[in-house]
Amino acid sequence: MFNRNAQCLLISAMDPIVIDDVAVLKCPICLDVFDKPKLLFCGHTLCAACIEQLHNSSLELDVPLACPECRRNVDVPSSGVENLASNFVIQRVLDARRFGTNNNATDSWAQADSDIDGLKRFVFRLKQKERCLKESCTKVMDALRREKVTILRKGDEVKQVSAHFASTTFRLQDV
């Protein structure tokens, strides 16, 4: 069955690729059209920057990196996200869109880049930043609490030493 709203792209000498849903060209993390689509070892595709952000978060939290689509633990090469395999199929479709080789993409892409999608991405990014700020504030407050305990402990030690020193000094003067 052929969907008349489907997007048909002709990429060089290849057969046409029919995209029934522009959502397949969107990253599940940033909800935007893929930017440098990279393949995880589980087969799912994310933007390179999104994988980098996930990878950094997993390192900070000391937890394995889990694919946001299937939740399988995936590895990132020690040489970095840039060395993950690129999703060339998605990249070709995006390039075809960018260079105007698509046949009937105007309506589909207008829909994909609509104000509603833009607002969803904006809200999503704000929530991400809010979560990061909360995590950062929590870490700073925890560090300050630990520092306060350390300072109070050192202050008590100084008081004990000075009291001991004062009592020792008085005894020597009495002699």
Domain chopping of the chain, boundaries: 1-113, 114-175
Of 51, 57, 21, 56, nearest in space to 38 by CA: 51
CATH of domain 1-113: 3.30.40.10
> Kind of pairing, strands 17-19 and 45-47?
unpaired
Q: Mapping DSSP to helix (H, G, I), strand (E, B) and coil, where does residue 45 land? A: strand
Tens digit of pLDDT for each residue in 3-34?
434 444 444 444 444 454 566 788 888 888 88
Tens digit of pLDDT for each residue in 127-172?
888 888 899 999 999 999 999 999 999 999 999 988 887 777 655 5
Tens digit of pLDDT for each residue in 60-117?
888 988 898 899 998 888 888 888 888 888 888 877 777 665 445 555 555 555 555 6
Tens digit of pLDDT for each residue in 29-40?
888 888 889 988
